[in-house]
Structure 1
Amino acid sequence: MCRNITVLRGLQPAATAEEIEAAARQYVRKVSGVQTVTDTTREAFEEAVAEVTAATTKLLATLPDRRQPPATVPPLRRPEVQARLKAKAAK
């Protein structure tokens, strides 16, 4: 469905809550078609993100971890993304 959603199963160390929420946010954006959250869409969008995050967390906790690590590095683990997030937080 969406090639940009990161594979979280098999990560070492395991996927963080931040990574799971980021993947949920990508999924909700894709299926809803909402790219920019407005006051009109915020409540429904954030509720959907919370529900997908909870379902994903439960799924990852119950699946056996026999899978090989993903072939690509998740975005939140990439050095350039970490640098961008730190710069944004410093503002």
Structure 2
Amino acid sequence: MCRNITELRGLEPPATDDEVRAAALQYVRKVSGLTRPPADGDAARAFAAAVEEVATATRGLLAALPPRRQPPATVPPLRRPEVRARLGLG
């Protein structure tokens, strides 16, 4: 369903709060069918609350799972500064 969401379990260093929130945002955008968060009003509050609830649930899930013996099959997100530096992307 959400092919663009990077697997967060097993990353070294562990997934940051920004990465968890970005994954939650992608999930809520996908299930809501919205390409961007609503601008204001009840819909905006509901959207923001859903993102925070999904992020909280994700953090709890990652904390409860046993550690992986190997990193995920996908490479860590390119938005990570240390990965971008290693690849010479800035």
TM-score, shorter chain, exceeding 0.5? yes
Q: Which stretches in structure 1 are left out of the alignment for 5+ residues?
A: 84-91
Matched, 1:74 2:47: no
Matched, 1:45 2:47: yes
Deviations 1:59-86 (A, max 9, x none): 0000001242122221431529x96xxx
More helix by share: 1
Percent identity, aligned pairs only, is: 56
Residue 58 of structure 2 corresponds to 56
**TM-score of the superposition, structure 1-length normalised?**
0.79
Alignment RMSD: 2.0
Q: Which stretches in structure 2 are left out of the alignment for 5+ residues?
A: none
Q: 1:22 to 1:75 in 2, by over 3 A?
A: farther
SS at 2:79 equivalent: helix
Using the alignment, how far apart are the partners of 2:47 and 2:14 within structure 1? 26
SS at 2:62 equivalent: helix
Deviation at 1:5, TM superposition (A): 0.5
**TM-score of the superposition, structure 2-length normalised?**
0.80
Number of residue equivalences: 82
Structure 1 runs (4+) deviating above 6 angstroms are none
- Contact 1:20-1:57 within 8 A present in 2 as well: yes
Using the alignment, how far apart are the partners of 2:30 and 2:75 within structure 1? 20
- Contact 1:12-1:69 within 8 A present in 2 as well: yes
